Amino acid sequence: MIAACVDRWALCSQNVKIRSICRPYIARRVLVLSLLISALLPSQLFVYFDNGTGLCKLSPFYSLPYKIFASIAIGILPFVLMIIFSLLARHNLHLIRSRIVPTNNPTQHFRIHKRDHDLMKMLVGEVAVYFMTKIPYPANIMYQYFTTRIAADKSPMRLAVETSVTFIIHPILTFTYCCTQFYGNIYNE
């Protein structure tokens, strides 16, 4: 999703070198690179998971670094980058709109404005859905980490509520985000 936001920013840029990023062969390379990174990034977990007790769980000395890593890699960094490149795309669209003045067809200006508006709605929607579906995950794992010391003092009701919230946050919101589609035929006119 970050690559898509960068691509939209580059597509709207007035700089020819930045616009040249929006080529199919570059998109294929970014796709392969992102697949490799997403496969290699969690490979560290093979080392830090402990199976000595019969349960597969993080070893205690790696728990906090993993939670911080997950909070940054899943929650904070993508969200910040998506906001930055969405704002830059919006800025580029305003610059383009201020330079375009239709000479003989007044409806052309309306169509350009509608496309820009649709693109901005799509970007804002993507960032909002990402925020609603991904930000609770880092908050939940950090909450779990900081409350493990008082786990023995938690009531069965509190444990049930925390388990339910974790179940909702982890798989359901992740699948919701992955299934949300923002791509239509905005530029097919």
Query: For 110-148, how does the pLDDT look when each residue is reduced to its tens digit (9 = 90+)?
Result: 555 677 677 777 778 878 888 888 888 888 888 888 888
3-state secondary structure of 185: coil
What tokens does 4 get? 């898509």
Q: Which of 45, 33, 75, 36 is nearest to 170 (CA)?
A: 75
What is the pLDDT at residue 189?
42
Give the range among 109-113, 146-150, 153-157 with minimum mean pLDDT: 109-113
Question: Do you know the residue count of the chain?
Answer: 189
The model scores a pTM over 0.85: no
Which runs of E-coded beta strand occur in 47-154?
49-50, 57-58
- The 10s digit of each residue's pLDDT in 55-69 is 667 777 777 888 888
In Å, what is the CA distance from 97 to each residue of 55, 73, 89, 117, 139?
58, 35, 12, 11, 40
What is the pLDDT at residue 32?
92
Share of the chain above pLDDT 90, in %: 3
Share of the chain above pLDDT 70, in %: 79
CA distance 138 to 147: 14
Q: How many CA atoms lie within 13 A of 6 on its CB side?
A: 16
Q: Specify which of 13-17, 51-55, 60-64, 97-101 reaches the highest per-range mean pLDDT.
A: 13-17
pLDDT at 182 over 70: no
| Cα angle value 107/9/70 (rounded, 5°) | 140
> Is the distance from CB of 89 to CB of 9 less than 8 angstroms?
yes
What DSSP state is assigned to residue 80?
H
Residue showing tokens 């200006």: 109
Considering the chain, what is the average pLDDT of its residues?
Answer: 78
What is the pLDDT at residue 105?
60
What is the pLDDT at residue 113?
67
Residue 9 — very low, low, confident or very high, per pLDDT cuts 50/70/90?
A: confident
Q: How many CA atoms lie within 13 A of 45 on its CB side?
A: 13
3-state secondary structure of 70: helix
Paired with 57 in beta bridges are 50
> Is the distance from CB of 3 to CB of 34 less than 8 angstroms?
yes
- The 10s digit of each residue's pLDDT in 81-100 is 988 988 898 888 878 776 66
